[in-house]
Structure 1
Amino acid sequence: MQADWAIWGGMLGALLLSGVLVAAWLFPGWWQGAWRGRAVPVPGLSRLAVRRLGRRGAWWWGGLLLLCLPAAVVMAWSRWHPQRLDGFDDATVPANAQVAQLLLGEHLVPPPPVPPDVFLAADIVAEQPFLATADRRWDQMDPAFVQAVLQVFRAMKATHGYDMALLEGWRSPQRQALLAARGPAVTQAGPWQSYHQWGLAADCAFLRDGRLVISERDPWARQGYALFGQVAEQMGLTWGGRWQMADLGHIEWRKPGMQAAMRARAGVGAGAGAAP
């Protein structure tokens, strides 16, 4: 209780002091006259105005006290009717069971695998010929990253109506070297330079009527990629659509400490050959 009174007293004192300092700054020298009840010349004011200010100095002090009145009323009300304001209640009371589950740490389960023949469609092979051999095993990726990706998938379906599909998750350094050999239009990252090798990146696309849609030229898919990027960034992930060479379906988690590990591992791979 003494601490509460000390806090309130400090607040009132600070408010009153700030008012006095502001008055002293705006009217240098005059406030002393106001305290004594007589006029003190103030640059820029006529003698009549100075005389009136000196005579009505009490009104200025009354105004300062009036500024303190709201805080005093709230303090008195809180002392006479003790209760906790909802806005400052630190007790966590979930609104429903779903929120309670989220607070406890919800664990999402990956969706059923997309049939392999979906990735063998002619338009898909023409767009990404190496996609059929990509690794789409969720358990090969970082568990925390998997949960973030699944949260993105769920939000895309629930909020925007897009069904998502994982195109590629973990990628071996050998596969990374193969893709890098195809040129910068495919990837600019060599072995161990991509977050795919660490299970911290995922390439994703959309399912529409059971068919995979990956083309960025499709208006429906392009709109979906923009929404996908927004949702992923809200989850704290990095979206490839922001890059100079945009990769709209790519998201990654730049986990703290990974940059140094990637540089170190890439150096080892350059000197002794990339290890799986």
Structure 2
Amino acid sequence: MTTAHAQLNHWHRRQAALLYHFSSLPYLNGLLEKINQLISFTDDILEDRGGLDAAGRSLAHWQPADTAGHFSTHAFPALVDFREKVIRAIAARSYERYSEAGERQCSRMLQEYAYQMIWATGEQEASFQGRAEAVFKYAGNISRMMRRPTTWNDFVFSLLWEQNRQDFPRIPCFRVRTDIECVSGQTPPRTGVYVPQDDPMGALQFGWTGGYGELGDTYTLNDFGKIAFERVGRAGLWSDESGLHALINESQHRDLPKIDDSDRARVDFAPAAVALQGFEGRLCKWYFVEMLEGEYEDHDGGYAGRA
């Protein structure tokens, strides 16, 4: 990359689109909306079932932890704290501050105090659990990206793309700013996405200027990962299950330390097994990736015009 505005490759464009999407204020506002909906639903079922506490303890021998009152006192505040953390995170964006979403703490509290919602109907409990899991999954895309050090690699991005590609009927256009550079371990000069300067297989990262947003090592193919690349090609990485399964079962690869016999027995697990063995972190120099507002391209890289 030596020109003023170098180009991202096909897979790096997808990575940049995901990173800008998950780090965006609209995505964070979407999390707040989902938490509010979960809190409202929980309010409704607590109101609906709360009157059963006395009868349940008297007739069904409920323990104190089995009651709606116990849930309301110990579990429900975790949802409220989760919402407050997201509200603070939204306000912090004006100072270029980014952070994890806080879903892990909320999830642990709910698992501790809401393991058995005896006070609710089976339908209500299943609905609550499903809604909560959906919120935590949504929030996890923020938290895993903001966590330092980040360990996202090309395989992780490929999974995220398949899980979220419905959100990208078009991909934003990007410009690689070779005049804006950074080095692993440093706080970047601008908040946004960065691409390794010299490694087409190195994973992109998101960094920010408002504290604790430094760029880490890029995760790229090691020697075994390069063998997999040569065997199945760029397009076959993470999708050619049969080719990767054959690779990890070759005699010269039987002693790979991170792949055991149970992994080798499953064709569908071969991409994950190769990914487990095939990456390493390394220091690198980075270029800033600028997203061009209102300009898009199709998934094959063709220009799709302005919004």
Which category of TM-score, normalised to the shorter sequence, fits these structures?
under 0.3
TM-score by length of 2: 0.19
Q: Which has the higher strand share?
A: 2
Q: Considering only CA atoms, is the larger Rg found in Structure 1 or Structure 2?
A: 1
